[in-house]
Structure 1
Amino acid sequence: MYRLLFGLAMALSFLSPATWAASLHEGWQQVDGLELFYREAGDPHAPTVVFLHGNPLSSIMYAQVMEELAASQSVHVIAMDYPSFGYSDAPDHIRYRYTFDHLAETVSHFLKLRGIARYALYMQDYGVPVGFRLISANPRAITAIMVQNGVIHLDGFPAAQDPDGELRRHWQHRNPAVDARRTAYIRALAYPQAAHWSDEDHAGADATLQMIAAFQRPGVIDARNDLWFDYGNNVARYPAWQASLRSLHVPVLVLWGRQDQFFTTPGAEAYRRDAPQAEVHILDSTHFATLDAPDQVAALVGDFLRRHRDELH
């Protein structure tokens, strides 16, 4: 045993500091009485990129991309799991208000506790309304904006375009039938296995299993239904967020999986209206492009960060 441990220690001693920095480390940060899980890599003194995950996954969707970025350049990357997502605590919806305002407040407190005051944002799905609240609250903190399959325009959100459609009506007057349908779907989610396995979005078995385990914890279904009901408040803020984007004048990168049927490619092109400097890449991928095509995403993000390095400080 001693020889094994000694050999391991000697092998690790030959790893360069860059290798250590590129390896993700994980932990929990206490925020407002909750233990929130996070993944982090790179030099904390280097320019920071904060990754905000979408629904229904967690920071697991960014792990490979973060690791590749930290290995290829001097950058600090960090991603947290929101309350009830991933490995973070899942307080019930009586103890914790599941609104996007509250999620953004929690993320803001997390960043403050981690000593992060200036950063670039990478946002996907639910991460976009969380991130744009951070942008609106403190635009000077933002060095760059990266968006992947997440909208601030109705162009890319077909299900919400009809003001008399089910979604918009639900957001105006909560429909118990919508909650019940979502609840039944979540309860029916089963352990990934060979029989009846379907992975249309190419999230993969590991991320899917973690998502199911997080979803089916006590109280989480109610929490997620509350959050979906609150999504209507995001749509109402789209014009204000578009105005914020027009006023920022920071580098903007938009990546989009064209196979996404929920947030469609017109949503990617719409960002050019408010940010003519936006670089838009339509990928032959899914809603979860960071899991389906992590090398491609990491290469595009890495190139973007290198070209705008002076603006990230």
Structure 2
Amino acid sequence: MVEVRHRYATVRGHRIFYREAGPHGAPTLLLLHGFPTSSRMFRQLIPRLADRFHVIAPDHLGFGHSDTPPADTFTYTFDALADLTEALLTDLGITRYAIYVQDYGAPVGWRLALRTPAAVTAVISQNGNAYDDGFVPQFWAPVWAYAKNPGPDTEPAVREALSLDAIRWQYLHGVDRPELVDPDTWTSDHRDISRPGNDLAQLALFRDYATNPPLYPRLHAYFRQSQVPLLAVWGAEDLIFGPDGARAFTRDLPAAEIRLVPGGGHFLLESHLDTAAAHIRDFLTRTVLT
């Protein structure tokens, strides 16, 4: 039985929670979660990888068990989240790692890779977007409108994403066997997102999401120059980041491995854990351990 350790670290004055498992001498895998969840999304995946890999899964600031400083005392941006993740890795003495990115974890992970390309040994993208192709217009139109002109006319549409119904939808849409998805996922996420003042932190990140697509040309250049091993294991029915976002990786990484999972949605690990874990373990064994 794999032991998963639940730890806290003080990083630049903020208390950051992270899950850790596996031998310290093994190759490191950094798991970066998305909105509106936390490292909790990896609770079943970590034991399936930690026999051969050293796994680190932090909660971003404002999520899960990490601190949630008020938005008037901390500037919530994806640059800032990447800064904290980078500082945590430095404090832990981790200089080389593979990354698993999902949703918000993608812009955090892309920033880490652009800052220190040689540190990243491999990339796993699970519905973690890197191309304009991946944006499903119906979902993203309110986000772009709010980022362009934040105010009373555009805020209600994005604030709806903080509701219990919207979070439940993120977990269940497109899933062929919704009975496999634990309701604790959306109720726990909603509880954490609803902490006093956290709505303003989340609204700030919604506004800042518009800074991510302008990074894509640099990211694509990094892919072309590095030819980093990449696996895109993707819920094929995701209505947030569609499967074209997975296929697009081959534009700059011809050897990228694309695994579209039918009947899988945005949070693929909740309904198709065995399939996703098998792809991930096989990929890491071939690319990181050899």
TM-score by length of 1: 0.84
2:223 and 2:182 mapped to 1: Cα distance?
Answer: 33
State whether residues 160 and 167 of structure 1, in contact with CA within 8 Å, keep that contact through their aligned partners in structure 2.
Answer: no
Q: Deviations over 1:70-103 (max 9, x none)?
A: 14xx211110000111111111111111100101
Structure 1 unaligned regions, length at least 5: 1-18, 193-197
Larger Rg: 1
Taking structure 1 as reference, are residues 42 and 161 closer, same or farther at Cα in structure 2, changes over 3 Å only? closer
2:268 and 2:14 mapped to 1: Cα distance?
Answer: 30
2:139 and 2:160 mapped to 1: Cα distance?
Answer: 26
Q: Is residue 291 from structure 1 mapped to residue 267 from structure 2 by the alignment?
A: no
How many residue pairs get aligned? The number is 282
Give SS of 2:150's match: coil
* Aligned positions of 1:1-313 closer than 5 A: 19=1, 22-71=2-51, 74-159=52-137, 166-184=142-160, 186=162, 199-200=172-173, 203-284=181-262, 285-310=264-289
Give SS of 1:64's match: coil
Q: CA deviation at 1:158?
A: 2.5
Q: CA deviation at 1:304?
A: 0.7
State whether residues 4 and 21 of structure 2, in contact with CA within 8 Å, keep that contact through their aligned partners in structure 1.
Answer: yes
1:226 and 1:161 mapped to 2: Cα distance?
Answer: 18
Give SS of 1:87's match: coil
1:286 and 1:242 mapped to 2: Cα distance?
Answer: 25
**Structure 1 letter corresponding to 2:22:** G
TM-score by length of 2: 0.91
2:284 and 2:49 mapped to 1: Cα distance?
Answer: 9
State whether residues 145 and 154 of structure 2, in contact with CA within 8 Å, keep that contact through their aligned partners in structure 1.
Answer: no
Give SS of 2:20's match: strand
Q: CA deviation at 1:143?
A: 0.4
Give SS of 1:96's match: coil
Q: CA deviation at 1:115?
A: 1.4
1:275 and 1:304 mapped to 2: Cα distance?
Answer: 15
Taking structure 1 as reference, are residues 185 and 70 closer, same or farther at Cα in structure 2, changes over 3 Å only? closer
Q: CA deviation at 1:45?
A: 1.1
Which range moved further: 240-249 or 228-237?
Answer: 240-249
Q: CA deviation at 1:266?
A: 0.5
Q: CA deviation at 1:187?
A: 5.2
Taking structure 1 as reference, are residues 188 and 32 closer, same or farther at Cα in structure 2, changes over 3 Å only? same
Q: Deviations over 1:278-298 (max 9, x none)?
A: 000000211001122112111
State whether residues 135 and 242 of structure 2, in contact with CA within 8 Å, keep that contact through their aligned partners in structure 1.
Answer: yes
Partner of 1:11: none
Q: CA deviation at 1:186?
A: 2.7
1:84 and 1:41 mapped to 2: Cα distance?
Answer: 23
CA RMSD of aligned residues (A): 2.2
